[in-house]
């Protein structure tokens, strides 16, 4: 019984579809438009005709449109909420005491499969963290402040790379970097992580950080 009902619905839909196609072809002829199977207007007009003449299709179409509108509004709301959360997290991060800040970053790097060591635990104060990934060794300098990090800070980290016999370095700041600092870092095996990328590290949606780190590591093997 159900199969017959389904078959009748399919036949009914195909008949309405053929009827709609005929109407659209007639309209194209009346307005002297060339019929082209690659023209989206053709399919749009068939869709409109089906909506007008076939009630089940009309109901399904309205439900689908309502679903799209609902999903779009939900996505807009989600993005807005995520932005607010990111701002709150950044404010909380900036207000953390230095020790907690370093321990948080240690956990973040461990989450990204680094072996991380806080240098103050071994009474080494020139850098804040030492990282290992495989046989590669990296030093991390954390710079918190109100201004963009300039080239002088980056130059000091470049000196520390040799001091620690490291393969490269990372500088993490809650601010940004000056153009000269960025240029110098690109020539000296130093990865710069500003406040935006730092927030990305705190989220599971961290493709930008993972991509840049992978690129950095591949360039300095």
pLDDT digits (tens, 9 = 90+) for 124-178: 567 899 999 888 999 999 888 888 999 999 999 999 998 888 999 999 988 889 9
Place of tokens 């970097």: 177
Rounded to whole angstroms, the Cα distance separating 119 from 141 reads 10
- Which ranges of 31-54 does DSSP label H, i.e. alpha helix? 40-53
What does the domain layout of the chain look like in residue ranges?
A: 2-90, 97-219
- Model confidence at 184: pLDDT above 90: yes
The average confidence (pLDDT) of the chain is 75
Neighbouring residues of 143: CB distance < 8 A, sequence distance ≥ 6: 149, 153, 171, 172, 173, 175
| Selection from 82, 98, 119 nearest residue 202 by Cα | 82
Neighbouring residues of 84: CB distance < 8 A, sequence distance ≥ 6: none
Give me Rg for the CA atoms of the chain: 30
- Model confidence at 204: pLDDT above 60: no
Length of the chain: 221
Higher pLDDT, 26 or 167: 167
Model confidence pLDDT, tens digit, residues 82-102: 555 555 555 666 677 778 888
Confidence band of 77 (pLDDT split at 50, 70, 90): low
Lowest mean pLDDT among 23-32, 112-121, 156-165: 23-32
Q: For position 189, what pLDDT does the model report?
A: 83
CATH architecture of the domain formed by 97-219:
3-Layer(aba) Sandwich (3.40)
Rounded to whole angstroms, the Cα distance separating 50 from 52 reads 5
- Model confidence at 32: pLDDT above 80: no
- Model confidence at 208: pLDDT above 50: no
Rounded to whole angstroms, the Cα distance separating 84 from 30 reads 55
The mean per-residue pLDDT over the stretch 190-219 comes to 63
Claim: this prediction has a pTM higher than 0.85: no
């Amino acid at each position: 019984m159900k199969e017959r009902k389904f078959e009748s619905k399919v036949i009914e839909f195909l008949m309405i579809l053929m009827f709609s196609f005929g109407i659209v072809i007639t309209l194209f002829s009346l307005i002297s438009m060339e019929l082209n199977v690659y023209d989206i207007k053709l399919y749009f007009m068939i869709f409109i005709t089906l909506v007008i003449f076939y009630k089940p299709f009309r109901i399904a179409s309205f439900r689908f449109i309502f679903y799209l509108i609902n999903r779009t509004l939900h996505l807009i709301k989600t993005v807005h909420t995520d932005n607010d959360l990111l701002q709150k997290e950044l404010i909380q991060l900036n207000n953390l005491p230095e020790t907690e800040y370093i321990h948080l970053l240690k956990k973040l790097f461990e989450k990204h499969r680094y072996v991380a060591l806080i240098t103050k635990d071994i009474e080494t104060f020139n850098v804040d963290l030492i990282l290992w990934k495989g046989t590669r060794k990296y030093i991390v300098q954390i710079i918190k402040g109100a201004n963009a990090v300039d080239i002088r800070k980056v130059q000091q980290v470049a000196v520390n790379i040799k001091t620690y016999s490291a393969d490269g370095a990372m500088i993490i700041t809650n601010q940004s970097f000056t153009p000269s600092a960025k240029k110098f870092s690109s020539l000296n095996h130093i990865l710069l992580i500003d406040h935006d990328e730092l927030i990305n590290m705190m989220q599971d949606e961290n493709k930008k950080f993972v991509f840049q780190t992978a690129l950095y590591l591949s360039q300095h093997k």
